[in-house]
Amino acid sequence: MEEPNVFSSDRTILCLFDVDGTLTAPREIAEQLGEGDDVIRKFDYVFAENGTVQYKDGKLLSKYAIQNQIGEELLQDLINFCLGYMGLIKLPKKRGTFIEFRNGMINISPVGRSCTAEERIEFSEIDKREKIREKFVTALKEEFAGKGLQFTKGGLISFDVFPEGWDKRLCLELLDREGLDSIYFFGNETSDGGNDYEIFNDPRTIGFTVFSPEDTVRFCRELFFDASPHEP
């Protein structure tokens, strides 16, 4: 939930940021913030892929593997269902990388992650009208009910599938041990079904909904530099 300015210089506060739409325009973390190990060294903590890949002070602490959690049979059933479903979707354009296998999740993009920035926006506008991702997730929930899978929308063109409980709150297990007074979380997908929803509503965080990187800057100025978030 959102709170007013409660910052005090004698408190240890960690600012935890979503990336897509919060710190930068939507892209993968390495593209957004730097290449390779550089991005990992820029921050005290980096929690990639919902926190299933965790870094502290530039060093890898842990890495989860979705195939070990749900098993190869369910994983292939999921991938095959998604391929079949997307084969029936008609869009103005389709590109490549419709299914991306990651450490802790599967990312599904009906238009394809290799689309251009213009094609990304075009799909997003169509998705707002026709609820393409929402209908896709509904079909997956029906097909895989009781299988221990969770589905969340993030960014403009895709959604994630991962084991139940592997949402962004995973990082809080580590941060609970770090002696912090408060954790401020900033994210743009904080409504129900968005990939920031669970951590935004967790009692261990103070959540702020933002709508752009510029909005994030305004909030931080207000919280830590005593400047109004409405100032340019």
> Does 201 carry a binding-site annotation?
no
Q: Which of 18, 127, 167, 196 is catalytic?
A: 18
Reading the block at residue 74, the tokens are: 């369910």
> Does 57 carry a binding-site annotation?
no
CATH fold label, 67-163: 3.30.1240
Q: What is the pLDDT of residue 228?
A: 53
Distance CA 216, CA 211 (A): 8
Q: Would you give the DSSP letter of residue 178?
A: T
- Where along the chain do its domains lie? 13-64+166-225, 67-163
pLDDT in tens, 58-77: 999 999 999 999 999 999 99
pLDDT in tens, 6-52: 445 567 999 999 988 898 876 655 455 555 567 788 899 999 999 99
CATH 3.40.50.1000 fits 13-64+166-225, yes or no: yes
DSSP 204-228: TSEEEE-SSHHHHHHHHHHHHH---
Distance CA 13, CA 103 (A): 29
Phi–psi pair at 221, nearest 5 degrees? -60, -45
For range 220-224, the mean pLDDT: 92
> Does 162 carry a binding-site annotation?
no
Q: What is the mean pLDDT of the chain?
A: 90
